[in-house]
Structure 1
Amino acid sequence: MLYERSIGAVVVFAIFVLVVLGLSFYLGRRAKSAKAYYAAGGQIHWFVNGVAFAGDYLSAASFLGICGMISFFGYDGFLYSVGYLAGWIVALFVVAEPLKRMGRYTFADALDNKFQSRGIKLTAAISTLIVSIFYLIPQMVGAGVLMQPLLGFSHHVGVLLVGVLVITIVVTAGMVSTTWVQFIKGSLLVIFCFILTVMILNRGLTTQPVDEAGRPMPGFKTTTLAEVASNPNLEILPEEGSWAKKPYVRVVDKTTKEVTVWRKAATGDVLSEAQTLTVRNGKTFANGRPQGHGPGDGDLRPVGHVVSLPGGITRTGAQGPAEYLRTLQDSQMLLWSKESLVEADGAKTTVYYSKIT
């Protein structure tokens, strides 16, 4: 989908960045020693440290990535979040505590202090950098992805902006600024997640989704192969190339020359409307039209909603957490999957189709 820049969101983000940078430079004046830089002088309160740990745990890679893993792989994806937590406990007792007793601040320094070997120290330093790079990649990707819907910035601008901001925070005051920034982030995440949860439970579930203005969202169409074939204004394109032996029917409107894609049902000749995103010669087309928000442009529509609720009702009203989860478990959901096809001219088309679970 395309995202438009929100001035309000940009202003809020700018204020938050200025506050964080101001805090970092202020605390940086107090980081005059290695202990102050690497360990915040040992003066951070346990509560602040605890919330900062939670804020660090709820990073882009974990907070967004684990949600995505659970969405795609269910319980198997949930196990990744357990791995994160278990790894932290191991690091706390096996690495952090011995480092504190030895009076060292990095893993490489601790190994050098014990073995007095430049080779071991170099190996530890290189492995630390490699692990950090692979951890940093999903963080930066997540930052760029978040910047697109929140601020309307392109992905690479979001990555560069967040990268420069994080480097500035770490360089100015080390662990003391990092801890307080994570404390602020963790506090905001916990508070607003709680507020969001209360709002969701108060709203309940409904089979009639609405847009931001409260208007009913248009549903996706269904038709039959016979109806399409009998329409004189439509033409079914041949199944050739990457479309051959696929459960899709491409239909071209003879008047507008727009091509739409429909997915065949497993049985019968029922067709369900699909969405497509095609990249051809550097240009992106959504549902057969140039992607954009101008006249004649197209874009992907929001998808995924509750199809039916237990008892045949259309709205549940406010619910408690346990009741909400039980209702969700007994409901039918319309989810979307996708399949990518590469056409003969090199264009890549991603087809998004619905499936009821």
Structure 2
Amino acid sequence: MKFKKATIAVHSGLNTDIQYGCVSPPIYLSSTYNFIDFKEPRLHDYSRRSNPTRDIVQNALSELEGGNGAVLTNTGMSAIHLITTCFLQPRDLLVAPYDCYGGSYRLFSSMHQRNAYRVKFINQNDKLALQEIFDKQPRLILIETPSNPLLRVVDIAMICKLARETGTISVVDNTFMTPILQNPLSLGADLVVHSCTKYINGHSDVLAGVVIAKEPEFISKLSWWSNNIGVTAAAFDSYLLLRGLRTLLPRIEIAQNNTKAIIDYLKQQKLVKQIYHPSLKDNIGYKYALKQQKGFGAILSIELKGNNELLKLFLSSLKLFTLAESLGGVESLICHSATMTHAGMSVEARTIAGISDMLLRISVGIENKDDLIFDLDQAFKIVSK
């Protein structure tokens, strides 16, 4: 599948420095700014509220997603928390995927227990369940597609249409796809959220998140609350995101090509029980992926045959794949979801979501694909002895 090439270089702060003509924009590290005179503040007065470097990133990400503004936060989870803080009150209902990222699941469950708002986790591919939940007029619905870690895809346009009809705010977590491969605002979403820690940065050295809005009035509320609770991103982190953003397109291209080669290899492995990736025809939501995505992404999951001892030996035998959480960096990572990213979910919740103890999530990097396949092959040979 071919995907549209976004004009990232135009929107990442290049050649915006009027004073010296710097190709890359300078970092504005100042925490505060002087007033022109009494009751005459400048555009920026305090960097928790706004910062020139952060402004560039926010504008770039908003343009790439086709939005009307963005708020950059200090982590992906603070972006999620900002949305719920801004738009939900006690007794409001939040609808979330039953197979969402473990950190989101943990946050929603804990806030539900504190009566900050109510949450209902559902299978968003179940049209009957969707209709039943929208009959309850939820305040907000979070859509995560492809899902983490099982790469299930749901119909963004259909869910957002149902949300509009009931006055529900629709939010799409677009971390796995990035603005290169999927643009949820064009499919009807009100808000898009990213963990910029992942692909947008791409170098595993920054924590950040972003909320991008279709309508300016949402940004006004989100900006006020981000300053109020202090979740805005730092200037240096914003600068590093600009660096990562400029290489997003080639990184995605290489990682996707590597992923295709790895999937072709894994199909031949007898110890692989199941492969999860949106490019596979038996993957849940494959038909939606064809319709709403410009590519299939570079995250896949596999379920191995065997027991925990085999799993441990396989992981310890890998040399190029690093056992670690997170994803979207230039390096290839492998993660045991049940004990790492989704450890905050109960065993029962993981079972309902289909996250088994033999499931591994792989974030494919930009290394040589032959080297990556060789590493997997030697590990499979060791556990097959």
TM-score bucket of the superposed structures, by smaller chain: under 0.3
Higher-RCO chain (CA-CA 8 Å, sequence separation at least 6): 2
Structure that is richer in helix per residue: 1
TM-score under structure 2 normalisation?
A: 0.21
